Structure formats: structure tokens, C-alpha cells
Amino acid sequence: MLPVPAPPYPVHHDEPVLDLAVPVFNEETDLEPSVRRLHAYLRETFPYPFRITVADNASTDTTPLIAARLAAELPEVEWIRLAEKGRGRALRAVWSASSAPVVGYLDVDLSTGLAALLPLVAPLLSGHSDLAIGTRLAPGARVVRGPKREAISRCYNILLRCTLSVGFSDAQCGFKAVRRDAAARLLPLVRDSAWFFDTELLVVAERAGLRIHEVPVDWVDDPDSRVALLSTALADLRGIARVALSPARGALPPGRPPRPYVVTAAVMALAHLFLYAALRPAAAEQVANALSLLACWTLALPVRGRLPRPALPALAARLALTTGSLAVLRHTVPAAGLSAELAALAAAHLSLVLARPAFGVRRRRTESTAS
């Protein structure tokens, strides 16, 4: 059941109407200029009282000292110190302790254009929506980033749609807000404390029937991003597998029924592409291909329960076909980049899906003849 819509808040509300968390870890370079810029922008343009809460995730540099100084100097800025790392852990701590009607967060690099902040918060203040997210993948968004991060982002969100049947377009844009009453309902159901926190929060909210408002944003990639792509990708895939199994365990509201083989194959393919794109900068194409395929198969073990014997030839077939596709691409187009490599791998997976019906018919006929 959706929360009762709340009336718009007066401009001169005594307490902060918005509590905006800024999770940080070893951000001594960006923290002060970013917080000052955010504070000045909110002071000049935001029509309601606000609070900025810097959430320090166990930083080992001078980040805590800078955060303390900013909190002492700027009246709308506070800071907390966490003993353990984790973006989700930081957001849970800030949101759970806040009394503001709307809580949210943004990344310290301010990659997202601040002009989208009021459109993000407005539907929550009016009671129209329960959560609001910035999206880099919807019409109207303007994004500047490299092909590797673009490919990873799109693969990840397609993977979510295939596996968890989500309706939102961008799970991990660091620009979100939620009504505090909705957050109080959702946070006890969210288990992740790191980067998958955003995705799990949105999945739980969508399954609970809450309204999610999307705002297309202007977004410029931070070249000094501290996100470890490989470890984050593996953690996200583990999180997807856990959440996909949660309805059967009663931890989340029920999702849709299991998908047929075609979608299962699509999930495997997208996970492979996602990991390949993350590994490729540090490894040769064939090494990245083999490692990403093996990682996908290993991550599937909790879902399978065990690795059935017929799956081993299927893994060998995928490895052979994807290896061959990359070899042919490199032979014909020596200067091919990551986008072309991902296209070749996608074509290899597609050929396996198209070939399966013929193998299935042949196997059934063989079994019928033997009986």
C-alpha cells in the first residue's frame, strides 16, 4: 500500500526538509571543493531547508579532518565517521538517523548536474512518488563517458531487466532520493552494504509497489573514480543471484516466475559481456574471455546448487565459440576496439541460442527412438 500523499512543505520549515548524504572514502582532494560547491548551489537555488551529511567510510587519509572542518564552518553541513567501508552502510546510517521528510545522496565527484536536484526531490515532497532516481540511460539524459563504462552500465541494466524483471532504467547512478517513511519500510529488507545497495533498494521498492520517479540527468564521467570495476562487477552479480532467489525464501515480495531457456542464456551472455568489459583493460582478449566465462559459471553455482555434467560441454562450447569469434575479429579487423569485441561475443552467444532448438529436437528424437 502506498503512503498517504503529503502536502507540499512550506519554504520556512524549521527543520531540514532534505538530508543529502555524501558518502566518501579517501577523498581528501575532492571533498572540500565538492561540498562547498554543493552547499553554495543549495543555498542559492533550493527553496527548502536542507542538510548535507558527509559520511566518512573509514578513510585513512585526511578526509575526516576536512569533513570536521567543513561541518564546523558551514551551518548546514554535518559529518559522521563509520568504522567500516561500504556505500550502502553509510547511506543506511545517515538515512536511519535523519528526521528529514526526504533523504538522498549523491557522489562526491558531483558527476551528475546539480540542476536535476530539485526535479529529483519535488515529486517526493509533493507525495507523488516514494523514490526518485537520476538516470543516464533515459531519453533526455546527456552523458559524457568512455566506451568501457558505457558498455558496462548498459550491460548491467539489461542484465537486471532479464533476471529480476525490473522496470527502472538506471540502477547505479549516484543520484537518488527517497521519502523517509518509505526508507523506514525498505531498509530492513536490504541486506547489501556496498555498491549493490542501490540496486537492491530499488528492487525491493518496486516489488513492494512503491512509485519510482526517474529524472534524466547530465552526467560527466570522473576519470579519477575509485570504483574497482572487477570486484564491483563480481559483487553485483552475486547480489543479483541472491535477490533472484530471495522470493523463494520469503525475504522479499514475490517477483515474476522463472524465465525460460532463452532468457537464461541471455543472462549468461550479458554477465559474460559485463565481466569481459571490466577485465579487458587489464588482460588480453582471450584471457579476459576465458576468465569472465569461468567467473560466470562459478557465480551460477549457488543458483544451480551443483554443476550438472551436461553443463560442462555447454561451457566448453561457449568457450570455443567465443574464442573463435574473437580470433576471427582480430584477424579481419586488427584495430578493433572494445565495442567490436563485445559485438563479436554477443553474436557468438546468439548463435548458441539459435542452435539449441535443433539440438533439442534431435535429442528428443533420439530418446524416442531408443525407447
| Least confident window among 6-15, 118-127, 174-183 | 6-15
Q: Once rounded to an integer, what is the mean pLDDT over residues 349-357?
A: 63
What is the distance between the alpha carbons of residues 317 and 328, in angstroms, rounded to a whole number? Answer: 16
pLDDT 10s digits, 185-204: 999 999 999 989 999 999 99
Where b means 16+ CB within 10 Å and e means fewer, 204-227 reads: bbbbbebbbbbbbbbbeebeeeee
Residues noted as catalytic: 198
Q: What is the mean pLDDT of the chain?
A: 81
- pLDDT for the residue 359: 39
- Most distant CA pair in the chain: distance in Å? 83
pLDDT 10s digits, 9-68: 443 345 899 999 999 999 999 999 999 999 999 999 999 999 999 999 999 999 999 999
Of residues 268 and 228, more confidence is placed in 268
- pLDDT for the residue 318: 82
Of residues 230 and 87, more confidence is placed in 87
Is residue 130 within 8 A of residue 212, CB to CB? The reply is yes
- pLDDT for the residue 227: 59
- pLDDT for the residue 330: 87
What is the distance between the alpha carbons of residues 6 and 8, in angstroms, rounded to a whole number? Answer: 7
- pLDDT for the residue 1: 35
Kindly indicate the confidence band of residue 76, based on its pLDDT and cuts at 50, 70 and 90. very high
Of residues 23 and 327, more confidence is placed in 23
- pLDDT for the residue 183: 97
Does position 308 have pLDDT exceeding 70, yes or no?
no
| Least confident window among 166-170, 179-183, 272-276, 285-289 | 272-276
| Least confident window among 11-15, 213-217, 302-306, 314-318 | 302-306
- pLDDT for the residue 310: 43
| Least confident window among 154-168, 206-220, 246-260, 311-325 | 246-260
* Closest CA relative to residue 201, chosen from 138, 243, 156: 243
Helix (H) or strand (E) holding 22: strand 18-24
